[in-house]
Every structure is written in C-alpha cells, then in structure tokens.
Homo-oligomer: A and B are copies of this chain.
Amino acid sequence: MKRIYLDYNATTPQADEVTEAMLPYFRERYGNASSPHLFGREARGGLERARERVAALIGADTREIIFTSGATESNNALIKGIARKKRDAGRHIITTAVEHHSVLAPCKALEREGFEVTYLGVDSYGVIDLDQLRDALRDDTVLVTVMSANNETGTLQPIEEIATLVRERNSVFHTDAVQQAGKLPLDVKELHVDALSLSAHKFYGPKGVGALYVRRGVVIPPLLEGGHHERNLRAGTENIAGIVGMGRAAELARERMENDRVLVTSLRERLHREITQRISDVVVNGHPERRLPNTLNVSFRYVEGESVILSLDMKGIAVASGSACTSGSLEASHVLLAMGVPPEQAYSSVRFSLGRYTTAEEIDCLVKELPSIIERLRSISTFSR
C-alpha cells in the first residue's frame, strides 16, 4: 500500500541531509562537549557551528541561542523563568486562547502560584485584536506570549505589531514560532521579539531538540539545573548529534524556504480547489490569506473529523484533527472553539499539512479518495443536517 503523509505540522520526516550531518557524531565525534580534550573539542565545534546556523535562521546572535530538548522545554523554561525572575515586579501574564498546550499549561501552573493570566480572544480567523492587547497590558504585566502561527489552522498573528505594543510598556514578549520556522521568514531583530521558541522536528530536523532564543539583556534562571552547560542557562550533557542535526536543518530551511513555500502553496491551493469542487458543505477554518502556506484546515459538515482521519488512514493517508499533542482526548479543538466555530463544525475539522516532500500525485490520490469517504460517512452520520 502506498503511504501518503500530510501531517507535517505534527512532525516532519528527517531530511537525509540532516541524518548525514548527524552520523559522524554518533561513533566518531562522540565526545562530551564539556570535556577539554580532542574528543570534547570536536563535539564543541559541532555544537557551535549548529548554534550559528540556528541563529542565522532567525537573525539572532549566537549568544542568544540556548539549545533545549524541544519547544515544550523552551516554552516552559521561558514562561516559568520570566515569571520566577520577575515575581516581585509583577504577576500578570498575557497570552491567547489559541496557544499550544506547552504554553497554556505553564500559564495554568503559574495561576496556581498566584499569577494572573489574561487569555486574549481571537476573531473568527483566529487573529487577536491589538486594541484588546493594548487594553490588557498593565504596569505589572511581566510577560506577553503569543504564538506566531497556529498549529491547527496556520493563522498568523501580527507579531511585529504585538512586539511594538509590548515594548512600549516595557514588558517581555515571547513567541512560540515552532510552526513558522522554516516555512516563512522570521527575524527576531526586525520583529523586536525578546524570546522565541523553536523545534527542530517541525523543519526536517530530529525530534528531541529545540532552541530558545532569548534577547541579550533578558535573563532567566535555568529550568534544568546542574552543570555549567549553555552558559549556565540549561544544564545537561548537550545532545550533540541532535543539535548538529538541528543546525543542518536550519541551514536547509534557509536555503529551501522559498522553494518549499512555492511548492506547498501551489499544492495546498490545488487540494483546496479540488476539495471544494468535489465535496459540498466544506468550510475552511483559519485566515484565508494570513496563514502558513502549507496548512489547510477544513470542516466537512455532518461528519466527524476523527472518522475522516480513520478512513484515510485505512487508505495509507495520514492527516490530523486538532493537534497531535491532544489527539485521543475527544475534546473539540480549543483553537476552533476560541474562533467562535460551532462545536459541530469543530468536531468536523480535518487538518491537512503539506511539506517539502509532498507531491502532486499524493494530492491527486487524496482528492480521489476523499469524496467517497465523505459521502459514505455522511450517509451514516448521526449529526443532524
């Protein structure tokens, strides 16, 4: 059976170039980067070259990059770190209702520790209102964290405008840029963000590696404490092979970003066009233009998204409903609900996310299978219509 992967927002296949870059660090350059001898220096060299490459992807200085075990750690370290550091200066945090759980969960934890968190709502496209943000900012707001692109809908937030508002109030602005990195340009200096989270496995790098950009001048205590790694900001023997892989993936992402963008935009438009031509009662969730080029979130009315996913899975086609991190929870997407999408439409949603290795043939295969699946599911649907 052919296998078609259209769930790139959950994770990406690791690029062969990335695997090639990692291999020497498993058996030859395997030293501990903290060791002063040759083996350690080789590892340290790989680490610092990777840091340059990741910094270059987002326009940061190398000293502003901390390697982590992934975006969940980056988000936890930044949010809890800022809160603990600034506890005496203020206990107010602003975020949005559509963030990833690795942002929402630390915010909830801080509420239990006495912080007040404002969850900004979004419009029907999933975009926050800048006036609401302006009103929400207070003298005791120590952190504003707003994702740059949503994982479920692909909707982009006006990051630069948010950064300007936050800067005027001398607060700290963090963005979870996991979904944007490698898909659209990101420049921390142009955007004026203070902190930014990255995950390697969302741009063809290895799982288990991420980075946290923290602007020079912003200081946070380490979440993982121990040795003097990462300039005392993140303890633990560095995952050199993984970090080298992330560096190579970042380099590839820069080189291929425009090609990748053109490819996935074209294929996504083809998919969108075919779906709306062949299937009735389809609604797109998310912003029609201000959206990641690879993401198409649609609700097939009167069917459950989970059923669509299972039916496609039986044909070897992998797509998603909601985010992978909450799959199986049987809850409707908190992102779609925050956008004012009715629960039935939210339950009907399916996320197609394309990537570098997606082909026109794969899209054609999907659009060939999809109409009969939707028709069959609708014929047995318990949804009222």
Contact = CB atoms under 8 A, between A and B. Distances in A.
Contact of A242 (B73, B103, B208): B208
Interface in A1-59: 3, 5, 7, 10-14, 16, 18-19, 23, 26-27, 30-32, 34-40
A312 B242 CA distance: 29
Given A226-B75, A226-B105, A318 B31 contact: yes
Interface string A104-121: 111011000000000000
Contacts of A35: 7, 10-11, 318, 320, 324, 327
A31 B227 CA distance: 33
Interface string A299-315: 00000001001101100
A38 B6 CA distance: 12
A325 interface: yes
A97 interface: no
Given A100-B226, A223-B223, A325-B227, A39 B236 contact: no
Nearest to A226: B102
Contact of A39 (B5, B23, B32, B228): B5
A74 B170 CA distance: 36
A358 interface: no
A100 to B, nearest CB: 7
A238 interface: yes
Nearest to A5: B39
Nearest to A325: B227
Contacts of A227: 72, 101-102, 323-326
Contact of A19 (B14, B23, B228): B23
B26 A206 contact: yes
A314 to B, nearest CB: 9
A159 interface: no
A237 interface: yes
B32 A236 contact: no
A38 B3 contact: yes
Interface in A214-251: 223-229, 235-242
A382 interface: no
A304 to B, nearest CB: 13
A42 to B, nearest CB: 10
A228 B326 contact: yes
A12 B116 CA distance: 46
Contact of A73 (B209, B229, B236): B236
A70 B226 CA distance: 12
A328 B206 contact: no
A360 to B, nearest CB: 21
A379 interface: no
A132 to B, nearest CB: 25
Contacts of A138: none
Contacts of A329: 228
A102 B209 CA distance: 20
B19 A26 contact: yes
Interface of A: 3, 5, 7, 10-14, 16, 18-19, 23, 26-27, 30-32, 34-40, 68-73, 75-76, 100-106, 108-109, 199, 201, 206-209, 223-229, 235-242, 306, 309-310, 312-313, 316, 318-320, 323-329
7 contacts: A3-B39, A10-B34, A19-B27, A26-B206, A101-B226, A105-B235, A206-B241
Given A7-B39, A100-B226, A104-B226, 14 more contacts: A7-B35, A10-B31, A10-B34, A11-B32, A14-B26, A31-B318, A37-B318, A38-B316, A72-B225, A108-B225, A206-B241, A208-B237, A208-B238, A227-B323
